[in-house]
Amino acid sequence: MVRLILIGILGAAFGSFAGAQVWRLRARQLVEDKKAGEKVSAKELKKLSPLIKKASKDRSRCLSCGHILAWYDLIPLVSWLSLRGKCRYCKKFIGWTEFLLEVGMAALFALSVFLWPMPLASFWQIMMLALWLAALVLLAILFVYDLRWLLLPDIVNIPFIVLGAVFAGIKLCLASDFTSTLTSLLGAVFVLSGIYLLLYLFSKARYGEDKTWVGFGDVKLGLGLSLFLGNWLLAFAALFAANLIGTILVLPSMLTGKLRGNSRISFGPLLIAGFLIVWLFSESILNLYQFIL
Ligand SMILES: [Zn+2]
């Protein structure tokens, strides 16, 4: 129990870290876009640019008043709750995202250790858990970033794939049945990434780069997710869950006519949500498959 609480606190700290990285990434993206000649919001750029100045690289600031935050403003969960989500200096509401990230990551870290399906006896087995926890931090950043700005930045997406490849590699080496583990892994990669790649390539060839049905970021995200799932049945379930959640969320606005058929929605957060649900319930899902097949 103590172990779970400690790992939960660690998760909350990493949730707080992920929240801070989201804004830094956004600031960097704006600067790059501006250099590339794209139109960026001057107001947003001005607000975020202090985050990437060298002198303040490691300091967190309030995004409203720019005040540098003290250590006691940055305690995960505690600071947000004691100030009821407001900045200590300008009293402006800083939003729910930070708090939800901290709570969510605390829960995910604790659940990961609690539900971890493998023994944690050898170095490599512990390494796999460490890789998984690191991947959760990257997923948190991708989730928030894509939800806000419809983009999965490569600077997070690529390291996520690398973590997944190492994770899958260790799993293969430890597997008692190498061939079936590899087959299932390749199946997962096809289901969660290959199908998207085909859809992406087809729609790109047919309708052009700006009108693809899926973003290339989703193809890359799907690759990372499938490497962690390593099982084509679970990959299929994750894809199904992502689409189901998406349909449930989109249906009300479709019916009221707020969302047209050609509106873009960010699919990354849905994929990540589907992936996490399937991962949490992987044992029951595999049992269910066995029952049906
Ligand atoms: Zn402030």
DSSP state string for 224-291: HHHHHH--HHHHHHHHHHHHHHHHHHHHHHHHTTSS-TT-----HHHHHHHHHHHHHTHHHHHHHHHH
How far, in Å, from the CA of 6 to the mean position of ligand 1? 30
Domain closes at, from 115, 132, 165: 115
Output the CA 32–ligand 1 centroid distance in Å. Answer: 26
Distance, in Å, from the CA atom of 106 to the CA atom of 6, rounded to the nearest integer, reads 9
| Residue 101 alpha carbon to ligand 1 centre in Å | 20
Give the global pTM.
0.91
Angle in degrees, 0-180, between the axes of helices 178-189 and 232-255, rounded to the nearest 10: 20
Ligand 1 centroid, distance to 61 Cα (angstroms) = 8
Residue 152 CA to ligand 1 center (angstroms) comes to 28
DSSP letters, 44-89, are HHHHHGGGGSGGGTT--B-TTT-PBPPGGG-STTHHHHHTTTB-TT
**Closest-CA residue to 102 (of 79, 128, 120):** 79
Verify that 88 and 177 share a domain, yes or no. no
pLDDT at residue 11, as a whole number: 96
SS3 91: coil
**Alpha carbon of 59 to ligand 1 centroid (Å):** 14
Q: What is the pLDDT of residue 235?
A: 96
Domain match, 64 and 132 both: no
Q: Looking at the structure, do residues 177 and 153 belong to the same domain, yes or no?
A: yes
CA distance to 19, 80, 97, 147, 282, per residue, from 72 (Å): 17, 10, 19, 29, 39
Closest CA relative to residue 142, chosen from 157, 124, 131: 157
pLDDT recorded at residue 210: 79
Domain boundary among 67, 82, 115: 115
Same-domain check for residues 110 and 129: no
How many Cα atoms sit within 13 Å of 1 on the Cβ side? 0
Q: What is the CA(260)–ligand 1 centre distance, in A? A: 37
CB neighbour class for 248 (10 Å; exposed up to 12, middle 13-18, buried from 19): exposed
pLDDT for 54 equals 62
Q: Is residue 147 domain-shared with residue 283, that is, in the same domain?
A: yes
Nearest by Cα to 101 from 20, 15, 8:
15
User: What are 248-289's pLDDT values in tens digits?
Assistant: 988 887 777 766 555 667 889 999 999 999 999 998 898 888
Low-confidence ranges of the chain (pLDDT < 70): 53-58, 258-264
20 C-alpha to ligand 1 centroid (Å): 15
The whole-number pLDDT of residue 60 equals 81
Is the same domain home to 129 and 109? no
Per-residue model confidence (pLDDT) at position 264: 65
95 dihedral zone (left: phi>0; alpha: psi -120 to 50; beta): left
Q: How far is the CA of 29 from the centre of ligand 1 (A)?
A: 23
Do 147 and 84 lie in one domain? The reply is no
Shared domain check, 227 and 103: no
Q: Are 182 and 230 in contact (CB under 8 A)?
A: no
Q: How far is the CA of 88 from the centre of ligand 1 (A)?
A: 7
150 Cα to the center of ligand 1, angstroms: 27
Tell me the residue range of the domain where 90 lies: 1-115
How far apart are the CA of 42 and the centre of ligand 1, in A? 20
How many angstroms does the Cα of residue 265 sit away from the middle of ligand 1? 31
Instruction: Quote the ligand 1 centre to 70 CA distance (angstroms).
Output: 12
- pLDDT given for residue 261 in this prediction: 55
Dist. CA 85 → ligand 1 center (Å): 11
State the Cα–Cα distance between residues 242 and 143, nearest whole angstrom: 13
Ion ligand 1 contact residues with beta carbon within 5 A: 62, 64-65, 87, 89-90
99 with 162, same domain?
no
Question: Are both 94 and 224 inside the same structural domain?
Answer: no
Question: Distance (Å, rounded) from C-alpha 193 to C-alpha 168?
Answer: 15
Q: Dump pLDDT digits (tens) for 220-240.
A: 999 999 999 999 999 999 999
User: What's residue 38's pLDDT?
Assistant: 85
Please say which residue of 115, 149, 182 terminates a domain. Answer: 115
Assess whether 128 and 111 both reside in one domain.
no
Tokens describing residue 237: 């379930």
Co-location of 24 and 106 in the same domain: yes
The pLDDT of residue 249: 87
* Three-state secondary structure call for residue 17: helix
Extended beta strands in 119-244, E state: none
**Per the structure, how many domains does the chain have?**
2
